[in-house]
Amino acid sequence: MRADDLSDFIACYNPENRHARKEAWDAGENPEGRWRKFSYDELIARDKTSLDIFWLKDKSLSDLDNLPEPDELAQDIIENLEAGLNSFREILGALNKVA
């Protein structure tokens, strides 16, 4: 992940003026919008008041007939986990150098 991967998020987040944030999601006009606000009432009405909110569907999961073979999926999972572990090792190494 690189900084430019987050440019849309940063622009929507508008850290300089959070009161000027604009919602990108709209049920009718932009149901794929990735910036959506929720009211307090909407959040509190959720089961166990969870903030684990999903409103976008992963389209790659909707085509179940064209999924990769299980061994390919397992290999991808292993590669992603190893990459994550390596990232944490790098962070730990950087923290140890600072300390």
pLDDT reading at 2 higher than 70: yes
Place of tokens 């998020």: 9
Q: Tell me what the pLDDT averaged over the chain comes to.
A: 84
- What residues have CB less than 8 Å from 12, skipping those under 6 apart? 21, 22, 24, 34, 35
Looking at the structure, do residues 44 and 21 belong to the same domain, yes or no?
Answer: yes
State which residues form the domain around 50.
1-57
The verdict on 49 and 88 lying in the same domain is no
> Are residues 4 and 41 located together in one domain of the fold?
yes
Residue 18: the pLDDT is 85
Do 52 and 72 lie in a common domain?
Answer: no
pTM of the full structure? 0.41
Task: Give residue 77's pLDDT band: very low, low, confident or very high (50, 70, 90).
Answer: very high
Name the token pair of 31. Answer: 């149901």
More confident residue, 67 or 30: 30
Task: With H, G, I as helix, E, B as strand and everything else as coil, classify residue 26.
Answer: strand
Distance separating alpha carbons of residues 14 and 73, to the nearest angstrom:
37
The burial of 35, by beta-carbon neighbours within 10 Å (0-12 exposed, 13-18 middle, 19 or more buried), is given as middle
Q: In sequence order, which residues have a C-beta less than 8 Å from that of residue 54 and are 6 or more positions away?
A: none
